[in-house]
Structure 1
Amino acid sequence: MPASAVWPMLSTRIWTRTVMGTMTTAAQARIYQLVHQAIHQGRLSRCDHLTLVSAMLADATLDPLDRSQINRVFDYVRMGRVRLVD
């Protein structure tokens, strides 16, 4: 699926905070922003990379589509399509 087809789906989802720690709208928007930036600009700061890694490891309620988009960024880093910058 092309990246342009995925962005509208990501941006229209609404998240609410619960006692169990479900992702908030602000946190989901930040992940969307980082994924979008990495794929379209071809670069990602190490700090932002750590944010994505933390989201994957710490948030068990992360939506499968969001997980796949974050994994896509990680794959692009491994393939050299996205560079980690300081």
Structure 2
Amino acid sequence: MSSDYRYSYSSIYSESETTVKPIVDKILRSGKMSRQDHALLTAVVFNHHDIDEKERRQINRIFDHIQTGQLKIVNW
């Protein structure tokens, strides 16, 4: 995982530190999603349990960018 991540696997369990939006924003800014990005986002989502509509829209942004070719899947 690159050093520009503010979040790590060890901080996933601290809900105050980790939210969906900053992770999605970082992925979209970079224009690519790695296996590590996917694992971090998935872990946050599954740990959070109750995803609200705002967080769901953030995740859907990733799918939209993949479908339109704006986001590349790398190191899979």
Same fold (TM over 0.5): yes
Runs of 4+ in 1 over 2 A off after TM superposition: 50-60
* Higher normalized helix content (fraction of residues): 1
Amino acid at match of 1:84: I
Deviation for aligned residue 1:55: 4.1
| Runs of 5+ unmatched residues, structure 1 | 1-22
Q: Report how many residues are paired.
A: 62
Q: What TM-score comes out, normalization by structure 1 length?
A: 0.55
Q: CA RMSD in A?
A: 2.2
Which structure exhibits the higher relative contact order, with contacts defined as CA atoms closer than 8 Å and separated by 6 or more residues?
A: 2
Tell which structure's C-alpha radius of gyration is larger. Answer: 1
Identity %: 27
CA distance in 2, matches of 1:46, 1:67: 20
Moved more, 74-83 or 56-65: 56-65
